[in-house]
Amino acid sequence: MLKNIKGRCWFLPIAIFKKALQYPGNAIIKTRIAEVGNKSFKIEHHIFDDQNQLCAVGQDVSVFYDFTANKTLPISNDLREILGQY
C-alpha cells in the first residue's frame, strides 16, 4: 500500500503511429514499466491489430515534482516496489 506520496507528476506522452487500425476490429494493448529512475519512471505501450501486427508504440515519462518548492522529488520506496512488479 502506498503511503504519504507527496507532490504531483509531470507527464510526457509520446506516440509513434505505424499502421491504421480497422473498424470493426480489435486492438490489443500491451503495457509495461520500462524503466524506473530516481525521480521518474517510463511506461511503454504497444498496440497491435487482430493479425498481431504492430500499429502504434507509445511511452509516458512521469516525473515527480513539488510545485510549491519547484523541484523534483525522489520516487518513494513503496512506489518503487510496486512499479518493480510490472
pLDDT tens sequence across 45-65: 999 999 999 999 999 998 988
- Helix, strand, coil shares of the chain as percentages rounded to 5? 10, 50, 40
Residue 49 lies in a domain: yes
Residue 6 within any structural domain of the chain: no
What average pLDDT does this structure show over 36-51? 95
User: What is the model's pTM?
Assistant: 0.75
Total domain count, the chain:
1
Say whether pLDDT at 7 is over 70.
no
| H helical segments located in the chain | 77-84
Which range of residues forms the domain containing residue 43? Answer: 11-84
The CA R_g of the chain, rounded to the nearest whole Å, is 16
Q: Grade residue 9 by pLDDT with cuts at 50, 70 and 90.
A: low
Spatial separation of the C-alpha atoms in residues 82 and 5, rounded to whole Å: 13
Could you tell me if residue 60 is inside a domain? yes
CATH of the domain at 20: 3.10.129.10
Let me know if residue 3 belongs to a domain: no
* 1 domain residue, yes or no: no
Across the chain, which distance is largest between two alpha carbons, in Å? 49
